[in-house]
Copies of this chain bind each other. A is one copy, B any other.
Amino acid sequence: MRYSRIPDETIRRLPIYLRGLLLTSERGDKSISSTNLADFIGVNPWQIRKDFSYFGDFGVRGMGYDVQKLVKKIKGILKLDIIQKVALIGVGNLGSAILAFPGFGVYGFNIAAAYDVDPKKIGKKRNDIKIENISRLWMLKRRNIKLAILAVPANSAQDTTDKLVKAGVRGILNFSSCYLSVNKKVKVITIDIAMELARLPYYIPAG
């Protein structure tokens, strides 16, 4: 590691590279060049090389990158080399879709718990996960779950967040359309679906 700080944008791209490499690996390829990978995932080759260079020498000049070695390295950087347990908070429409979502497995995530307020849902199972009472969020600490996906209505999002933080959660993927205030030990990534859609018309010429 010869740089002092890794750019956030580089971290944002690492999962893209990881997925591309996993697919490459499934095809049976042993190595790949930055140009091939670039074509595959829609990023510039020099961007890829620059990003990798922050972490050391990954490739072999004239040859390219060893796919397996690179996968291992990126997983290590992102801390995806261990299984990460995640709790889902809020089993409504969106929450249910997230429980059924097949895409988390690639990165080694394990949705290990689900919580809701609705007494009708509590105790039932969805995708083999028992829905628990949200009043028992404090259990997350004992179960050593540090990550949560928040899919509750905006008006209870801050309140729930405070409880999550108290229960030792350190990372939150937030689907509520609101700003969450947390202490800076906690990392929040917000996905605001309506907001993403809201900036689309700007780019489209009228007519």
- Chain A positions within 8 Å of B, measured between CB atoms, are 11-12, 14-16, 18-19, 40-42, 77-80, 84, 86, 93-94, 96-98, 100-101, 103-104, 106-107, 109, 146-147, 149, 170-173, 177, 179, 181, 187, 189, 191-206
Contacts and interface: CB of A to CB of B under 8 A. Distances in A.
Given A94-B97, A101-B93, A146-B204, A109 B197 contact: yes
A101 B170 CA distance: 27
Given A79-B204, A201-B79, A41 B179 contact: yes
Contact of A194 (B103, B146, B171): B103
Copies in the complex: 2
A198 B17 CA distance: 12
Contacts of A19: 177, 195
B197 A79 contact: no
A191 B103 CA distance: 12
Contact of A197 (B41, B100, B107, B195): B107
A203 B187 contact: yes
A193 B15 contact: no
Contacts of A192: 15, 103
